[in-house]
Amino acid sequence: MPELYGHPFSSYTWKALIALYTSETPFTFRMLGADHPENGARVAAASPLGKFPLLIDGDAEVFEATAIIEHLWLHYPGASHLVPVDPVRAAEVRMIDRVFDNYVMGPMQAVVDEHLPGGGMDQGRIDKARANLERTYSWLERWLAQYRPGEAISLIECAAAPSLFYADWVQPIPASCPRLSAYRAYLLALPPVSRCVEDARPYRPFFPLGAPDRD
């Protein structure tokens, strides 16, 4: 049975969990934290910088959330359509996955990092990250004019749900992006995503900017 190493409040752990829940793949969750040093050691040894999530599947050690989803799609497809079979469409889906990871999750995390204990509170970096989020929100609003989620959750939803969940806490989606706001609400209502939201709820007091009283 595959093992996923991660933390319930981690956005990238969510990304992998959503795929696991969607494909209905049985797995064991290995919690990271001070109470489980053996899990942290396992993660530290598996990748260049010891980052999580990490999927252990037999002899395979798969790190990076997108790679984990690709592994699940290949080995545990179930009834899911995480990545399209058509290679042209698959390339498009992978591109949008990169948009959410690099241009939503990335600047969101930059703001969070500056507010962590020991963070520099570099206002210039914070302002730039917030501006990048606003720019990406506008791009996604235009993209959503032609994107219609399918009945099955794809790699796009796995990436979009955690990134938009936390990004909206850091830089609220503006009223000028109604399609994006509606898409975020749609994502949070999906059962695999809702499960992640609820499992992460006890950890909200640790959000360095202060978790909003919503969602």
Q: What is the dihedral of CA 134, 139, 143, 144, to 10 degrees?
A: 20
Whole-structure pTM value: 0.95
Task: Please indicate, yes or no, if residue 205 is contained in any of the structural domains.
Answer: no
Determine, yes or no, domain membership for 4. Answer: no
pLDDT tens profile 103-119? 999 999 999 999 998 87
Task: Give the C-alpha separation, 118 to 130, whole Å.
Answer: 20
pLDDT exceeds cutoff 80 at 80: no
Strand order in the sheet with 54-57: 28-31, 3-6, 54-57, 60-63
- Residue 16 falls inside a structural domain: no
Domain carrying residue 92: 87-191
Mean pLDDT of 132-155: 94
**Where residue 164 sits, what CATH number does that domain have?**
1.20.1050.10
- In a 13 Å sphere around the CA of 128, the CA atoms on its Cβ side amount to 8
Whether the predicted pLDDT of 190 surpasses 90: yes
Q: Is residue 18 included in any domain, yes or no?
A: no
Give the model's pLDDT for residue 82: 93
Q: Is residue 95 part of a domain?
A: yes
Does the pLDDT at position 15 exceed 80?
yes
Return the closest-CA partner of residue 86 out of 162, 150, 17.
Answer: 150
Per-residue pLDDT, 79? 64
Residue 177 included in any domain: yes
Indicate whether 128 belongs to any domain.
yes
User: Looking at the 3D structure of the chain, how many domains does it have?
Assistant: 1
What was the pLDDT predicted at 151? Answer: 75
- 144: in domain: yes
